[in-house]
C-alpha cells in the first residue's frame, strides 16, 4: 500500500523545509506557503498527491520535522 500527502496551507508557517528538501513533491505557491506539486486526489478542500515509492521515507521524515505539523501523510 502506498501513501498520499497534502499540505494544510492554513497552518503552514512558510519555513521552506519541505520544498527545499523534496522539490519533487512540494512547491512554494507564494509567500513561502507550500503545496504538493501535483494533485492526484481532489477531495474538496483537500488536495492530495500520491507519494512516489522511492520518496516515501523522505516525505514521512519531512512531515515529522514540519514545525507547524502542516504536512499530512496517510495511507492511500
Domain boundaries, the chain: 3-75
pLDDT, tens digit (0-9, with 9 covering 90-100), for 18-31: 999 999 999 999 99
pLDDT, tens digit (0-9, with 9 covering 90-100), for 45-73: 899 999 999 999 999 999 999 999 999 99
Asked if residue 30 lies in contact with residue 46, where contact means CB atoms within 8 angstroms, the answer is no
* Rounded-to-integer distance, Cα 5 and Cα 72, Å: 6
3-75 in CATH: which number? 3.30.70.20
SS3 content of the chain, % helix, strand, coil (to 5): 25, 30, 45
Amino acid at each position: 500500500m502506498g501513501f498520499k500527502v497534502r499540505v494544510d496551507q492554513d497552518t503552514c508557517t512558510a519555513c521552506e523545509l519541505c520544498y527545499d528538501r523534496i522539490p519533487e513533491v512540494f512547491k512554494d505557491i507564494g509567500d513561502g506557503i507550500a503545496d504538493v506539486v501535483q494533485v492526484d486526489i481532489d477531495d474538496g478542500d483537500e488536495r492530495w498527491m500520491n507519494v512516489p515509492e522511492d520518496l516515501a521515507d523522505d516525505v514521512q521524515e519531512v512531515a515529522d520535522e514540519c514545525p507547524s505539523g502542516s504536512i499530512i501523510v496517510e495511507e492511500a
